[in-house]
A and B are shown apart, each in its own frame.
Chain A
Amino acid sequence: MRKKGNEIRKFWSLYVFIGIFGILSFVFGLYPVLKSIALSFNESSTVFTNPEFVGLKNYREILRDSYFWDSFKVTIFFTFVSVVLNLAVALILAQLLSYKGLGRSALIFKLCIFLPFIVPDVVGALVWKQFFNTNGALNQLLTLAGAQPVSWLNQRSTAIGVLVFVELWKHVGLYTIIFLTNYQLIDTTMYEAAGIDGANAWQRYRYITLPALRPAFILNAVYAFIQFMKTYSVSRLITFGGPNYATNFVSYYAYTKYEKMDFGGATAIATVLFAFIIVLTLISMKLGGDENEK
């Protein structure tokens, strides 16, 4: 104990350094998380005026709520499709971008692919919404080609497809850049050795490139998983959770509960989602980490 006291006295200026970070992380990070969890155990209507502890009531209610389960299912489906698609497309793009024959034009392609990531999300969402509109650009193109127009945003299956596409467009650049960085770390002498041993292009890719990209795979998968489980903006900006709750993602559903002043329900949903994200993230990080040590 005395040793600790001495250390604090000796390194007190480090506490000053970490001060702002610490206040932000506590007061605007951990505290709201705990407060939100605490709110979920209170009666919604009186939560601010006269907090009344109701135990698991809010949780029992959302677990009985079929809209919540549908919302959870659609979020998991959306996340699964998005993670797989983003990683697959990013991997292909990274492979294409690292093709030697491109020379300096690779930079221009890289800029274009990355651009959607840094532009405010609302801009992309609004333009794509217009593009997929009933009388938008895509349907005019289909009509010109002699096909029937499709009401993309008014059908369950196509509406979720549109959101998968918009989120892919927005985020794939980030995952591509991360794969590319990993590409540059691959030891190229391995390819030469493999060439001498007579390995063909597919074998080199399968046994050298893919295993070497493992760190980027794990990182991208974890990032993308957290990112897409929390999806909210596109639902709010493009489909408003519809049509007929087809894109009613958990974050969006909880938000609509908050708008209806159902704070207990909203925070209970948020807490369930948070628990799900944290458990799966820890598991995947543990699995990824262990494999790396082998």
Chain B
Amino acid sequence: MRNKKWVTALVYVILICVSFVMVYPFLWMLSASFKTNADIIQNPLNLLPQKWTLDGYRAIKTMSGYSIWHYLKNSIIISAGTTALVVVSTAMGGYALYRKRDLPLFGILEKSFMISMMYPAVLLLIPLYVIVIGSKFLYGTGNYLGIILASSTGAWGAALPFFLFKQFFASVPYSLVEASTIDGATERQIFFWVMCPVMKPVILTATLISFLTSWGLWIPVLMLSKDMSTYTLASMLVNINSELGVDLSQTAALSTVVTLPVVLIFLLTQRKVMDGIAAGSVKG
């Protein structure tokens, strides 16, 4: 009995230490965002500011001539657009592959998706850049479409949701579809009236996961933007750190602003997100 108490204590101690390491950067970031630059450099160990200041937040109010709301708006547009496209394409595509995998072209489509997942994503942007800048429709000041389309592929945001749906359909009895065809339902009716209600929870999970992962994307944004009119919060964070003489309290403040929405959404929906990611992965 005494032995068991010791084991429990040990497990707790290890997990508390590990958890501390996991959240430490976020605590450090939050405290640094209220510190002065001198305080951050001199006392990096202190998790409480010597003197509280909002200098960092003042420094992110306007960046490179645009207000913070501009970058926030871009983050929302690009992650919402990517999420919508990812969820619609993987849900409907996944269903079509489940319904009748042996139709002409279907196999090639699925393989193309898998191949684009394995190509180094950063370098896939070189040909994508060539495709995107060649098109008025996809590229230009304030044009988000190229970024959203590139971010919605297997190389970036679509991989996890695709496997999530694949895994989900593997558990749906095919007799559900067969019964509906016998009743004379058309393919559209089967999808919208029979499958969609069953898919509701998994659609929700895919939406959450997709939003959380596309919120932090910065490589496609930096590479496929014509100018800063389409920069997001995350890409701006990379941008202010590529310059010489980094303003640490500004960086910490912007990091906090980037992190806060995803942490809030995650804490509110953690069960769905973690179970969903696990389910989507185990099949993949």
Contacts and interface: CB of A to CB of B under 8 A. Distances in A.
Interface string A120-155: 111110111011000111001100100000000000
Given A8-B103, A25-B153, A109-B19, A120 B92 contact: no
B38 interface: no
A251 B118 CA distance: 12
Interface in A26-53: 26-33, 35-36, 39, 48
A251 B123 contact: yes
Contacts of A21: 89-90, 92-94, 96, 109, 113
B263 interface: yes
B143 interface: no
A105 B119 CA distance: 40
Contacts of A30: 112, 115-116
A28 B146 CA distance: 10
Given A24-B149, A137-B45, A177-B274, A32 B92 contact: no
Interface in B106-133: 106, 109-110, 112-113, 115-124, 126-128, 130-131
B239 to A, nearest CB: 10
B241 interface: yes
B164 interface: no
Interface residues of B, number: 96
A198 interface: no
Nearest to A140: B45
Contacts of A31: 127, 131
Given A36-B127, A274-B118, A14 B282 contact: no
Contact of A118 (B241, B262, B278): B262
Interface string A155-171: 00000000000000100
Interface string B135-146: 000000000000
Given A127-B255, A177-B274, A28 B128 contact: yes
B100 A11 contact: yes
Nearest to A136: B44
A99 B115 CA distance: 39
B45 A141 contact: yes
B170 interface: no
Contact of A274 (B12, B21, B119, B234): B119
B29 interface: yes
Given A8-B103, A32-B127, A122-B237, A25 B25 contact: no
Contact of B11 (A28, A96, A233, A267): A96
B168 interface: no
Contacts of A270: 119-120, 123-124, 126
B229 interface: no
B201 interface: no
A68 interface: no
Interface stretch (A59-67, A80-88, A215-223): A215-223
Contacts of B213: 118
Contacts of A19: 92
Contacts of A182: 282
A226 interface: yes
A24 B85 contact: yes
Nearest to A36: B127
B126 A266 contact: yes
B266 A18 contact: no
Interface stretch (B50-58, B63-71, B186-194): B186-194
B263 A115 contact: yes
A29 B112 contact: yes
B162 to A, nearest CB: 8
A241 interface: no
B150 A251 contact: no
A113 interface: yes
Interface in B187-220: 187-188, 191, 212-213, 215-216, 218-219
B23 interface: yes
A122 B85 contact: no
Contacts of A36: 119, 123-124, 126-127
B281 A219 contact: yes
A258 interface: yes
Interface in B235-272: 237-238, 241, 248, 251, 255, 258-259, 262-263, 266-267, 270
A229 to B, nearest CB: 8
B14 interface: yes
A196 interface: no
B127 A237 contact: no
A120 B234 contact: yes
10 contacts: A17-B99, A29-B113, A33-B124, A105-B12, A123-B259, A137-B45, A223-B284, A267-B126, A270-B126, A273-B120
Interface of B: 4, 7-8, 11-12, 14-16, 18-19, 21-23, 25-26, 28-29, 40-41, 44-45, 85, 88-90, 92-97, 99-100, 103-106, 109-110, 112-113, 115-124, 126-128, 130-131, 149-150, 152-155, 158, 186-188, 191, 212-213, 215-216, 218-219, 234, 237-238, 241, 248, 251, 255, 258-259, 262-263, 266-267, 270, 273-275, 277-279, 281-282, 284
Nearest 4 pairs between A and B by C-beta?
A: A120-B216, A21-B93, A29-B116, A30-B112
Given A32-B119, A274-B120, 6 more contacts: A15-B96, A28-B149, A30-B116, A101-B8, A102-B8, A122-B241
